[in-house]
Amino acid sequence: MANTPGAKKAIRKIARRTEVNKARRSRMRTFLRKFEEAVSAGDATAAKAAFVEAQSVLMRAVSKGIVHRNTGSRKVSRLAAQLKKLSVA
């Protein structure tokens, strides 16, 4: 258990930050799911719009430290590949 006032404050800060990060992570996953649903439905125009939003949200998550930049880039790359595959088919 935290004994010093500084340690107690750190626990409070971590709890607040965790809540914010949970919300950001949830938002990111929501936009990824919307893209996946558009791709599985075969709707290229909706998938394109969802891709633009998902890419923006993913890169914002990277800048906020929710995901590592390589993870964010990898996810965007895979989403772009899925979109390209859908538009070619």
| CATH class of domain segment(s) 5-88 | mainly alpha
**Mean pLDDT (the chain, rounded):** 95
| Full 3-state SS string of 48-62 | HHHHHHHHHHHHHHH
In 8-47, which positions are buried (b, 16+ CB within 10 angstroms) versus exposed (e)? Answer: eeeeeeeeeeeeeeeebeeebeebbebbeebbeeeeeeeb
pTM equals 0.86
What is the tens place of the pLDDT at every residue in 12-26?
Answer: 999 999 999 999 999
Q: CA 31 to CA 29: how far, in whole Å?
A: 5
What is the tens place of the pLDDT at every residue in 53-69?
Answer: 999 999 999 999 999 99
Say if residue 89's pLDDT is above 90. Answer: no
Say if residue 40's pLDDT is above 90. Answer: yes
What is the tens place of the pLDDT at every residue in 2-15?
Answer: 799 999 999 999 99
